[in-house]
Amino acid sequence: MLTQRDDGLMDWDGKNWRRLFLPEEQADFPIITSLLFDQSQTIWIGTLGQGLARTLNYNSVENWGKQDGLTNDLVWSFTRPAANSPLWIGTDAGVDRLDSRIERIVPFRSGTTYTLASDQQGNLWLPEGAEVVTRLDLKDNTEHRFRLVHLNQIVPGHSNDMWFLTRQGIFHSDNQNPEIGPRLLEDLPQPSITGIVDDDNILWATQGQKIVEFKAPNQLISKSSKCFAPFFEPDAIITRNHKEIWIGGTSGIYRLIHQGNSLLSCEEITLPKESGTNIVAMLHDKRDWIWAGTDRGLSLFANGRWYVFDTNAGLPSNDVSQGGLYQDEDGSIWVGTSHGLSHICNPKAFLEKEPIRIFVGSAKLGSLPIDGHILPYSRSPLTISFGFLNYRDDDHIRFRYKLDGFDENWEETTDGSVRYAKIDPGTYRFHLNAYNPWTQQSSSETSFIVQMAWPWWKTWTAYIFYGLILSICGYSIVRLRVRYLVRQKKILEEIISCQTAELAYRADHDRLTGLLNRAAIEDKLEKFTEEKNSNFYLSLFDVDHFKSVNDQYGHNVGDEVLVIISQHLKQYISEDYFIGRYGGEEFIIIVQKKDKDVVKNILKIRSEISQKAISLSVGTLCITLSAGIVQRKTNENWRDLILKADMALYQAKRTGRNRAVAISNEHTA
């Protein structure tokens, strides 16, 4: 049962009421309006006008401060002389006594008490000032004071032995005669800060960086040489399983393995980065756990790994006092800090933590929730918020996340949210887990799929469409190219054909007159004469007085005369009439017809040209022609035929020009 009182709360455990004081900085809280136990047994306290408060490790950790009766919040040491006897507490302002039966702290005497201890007879040993140590018989309250300057630590043995570590060296008392005080061990005159007695009643103590092993009454077993880093200063020492010595100091913890008088190894212990490295107190408890107090909280080595606890675990302060660890008869642990006393009632329950349970609060792509369906394409950011349900360690829990397909490595955050400014379309899986590096806890992993569709212009349908377009374009380009090439080929063929025809024409025709040239005429004559029984007519025309025209008017006018005569002759060209320029002013006519009108037609052609005046650039001239006509006889050579025609032409010239002579019929016109 839990209820409110003026200065805190009252807790009923079934037998007694126990007062629960609020922390000093919250002692002025107004009225408590509501109380709530959550599933982790944390008490949530609602107040009037001051918000919400909560307890940490309720029923596992108890804390006491000045408001609970402590003389001072800086607690240095503890001892319980006998079972069921009060716990004696040394603080920076005096010695207090805690009666567990009534859960009340009672001041005993004033004065800084940074170390105290009880012997086997139940006597209490404590310093008074800087030069006196007092032995207090708790049975009859008698006291014996001994001079002992600058005491650092009182170490009780397992029999009557008591050890006193001072700046002058190590002192020993067999505690058999209460009148005889501690005496200095002559072999150990150097200053000693910390020590412990193992199960064999052997004292292990530090003197600078040296470790001494001493067995009462006066037996120095060994003196280990230095094995620490140069800057290391021992402040705490424990023994473990007869072979191990753990020593903590200004830069961490060393573990020494010894056998007999030999030191086998000395190794530095790797502490978690969350732990402080300034070790001021150490304790090896009945569970084989090792506790280490630092300026950053409490570290615990159990089950092969380290755990770290601080104010979030319920400690009143992270600053553990030097030598401020004590194991009680029931196995509970007392911790002295600079801000009060802490009692870890059930260390196993203190170590056992509820599993870290995580959840994903929301996951959105822009404003669209991620619900397992494929989301449309978006350039909006992907935002995911998440959290955990473990409020006791909320300051220490960290999230690890990874988006498969986007993150190459696991990322870490304490914010409880993550934002991806832009992700590409596709399928992703988001992984999330949480872990507490202080308690070495990890949650189970949760994950979900994020699917974003490709934009329409990147879908397979679009790609097929693009392919079709490209294919059509490619086909069209090829077709256009082929068409262009075909057209170019045709044009080229036409050009070549024209050029070939022109070349052929130029090869067969006279350039000035356009009539067949001499070579073409001779080719035809050759062809005609090769044919058997091929009889044809041949006539040579010659322009009369052509030299006079050239001499009088020039060769250009002579060319005009030839061109005009050629134009007139071209009118008679047919499949039977072949007309050409045979050279100079001579023209030739070949007629394949065999009828009797051939000669008349040739004569007519000559007459029509000779009877007309022709217009030239220099005026009008009358031009006449002379002609020689022959007919080929069977098997007659064409050259002979030309010769005969030439003879006929010569005869026409000689008989007066402007006439024709046909040798075949002795006809002259």
Q: How many residues does the chain have?
A: 669
Active site residue 585: yes
Residues 6+ positions from 467 with CB-CB distance below 8 Å: none
- Beta-bridged to residue 516, according to DSSP, are 509, 580
- Beta-bridged to residue 343, according to DSSP, are 62, 334
Cis (ω within 30 of 0) for the bond into 217? yes
Q: How many CB atoms lie within 10 A of CB 485?
A: 11
Q: What is the CB-side half-sphere exposure of residue 116 using CA atoms within 13 A? A: 33
Buried b (16+ CB within 10 A) or exposed e, 565-594: bbeebeebeeeebbbbbbeebbbbbbbbee
Taking the C-alpha atoms of residue 108 and residue 112, their distance in angstroms, rounded to an integer, is 12
Residues 6+ positions from 470 with CB-CB distance below 8 Å: none
Fold adopted by 510-668: Alpha-Beta Plaits (3.30.70)
Domain borders along the chain are 1-55, 358-456, 459-507, 510-668
The pLDDT, as a whole number, for residue 18 is 65
Buried b (16+ CB within 10 A) or exposed e, 186-218: eebeebbbbbbbbeeebbbbbbebbbbbbbbee
Q: Are strands 43-47 and 17-21 parallel, antiparallel or unpaired?
A: unpaired
Buried b (16+ CB within 10 A) or exposed e, 309-321: bbebbbbbbbbbb
Taking the C-alpha atoms of residue 446 and residue 656, their distance in angstroms, rounded to an integer, is 131
The pLDDT, as a whole number, for residue 665 is 44
Q: What are the distances in angstroms from CA 313 to CA 60, 321, 603?
A: 10, 17, 144
Q: How many CB atoms lie within 10 A of CB 336?
A: 30
Q: Please report, to the nearest 10 degrees, the dihedral formed by the alpha carbons of residues 510, 513, 515, 519 taken in order.
A: -20
Residues 6+ positions from 556 with CB-CB distance below 8 Å: 617
Helix (H) or strand (E) holding 460: helix 460-508
CATH (one of 3.90.1150.10, 3.10.20.30, 3.40.50.2300, 2.60.40.10) for 358-456: 2.60.40.10
The pLDDT, as a whole number, for residue 273 is 85
The pLDDT, as a whole number, for residue 532 is 67
Q: Tell me the three state secondary structure of residue 565.
A: helix
The answer to whether 67 and 26 are in contact (CB under 8 A) is no
Instruction: With a cut of 50, list the residues of the chain below it in pLDDT.
Output: 665-669
Catalytic residue among 585, 586, 608, 666: 585
The pLDDT, as a whole number, for residue 260 is 74
Give the pTM: 0.65
Helix (H) or strand (E) holding 321: strand 320-327
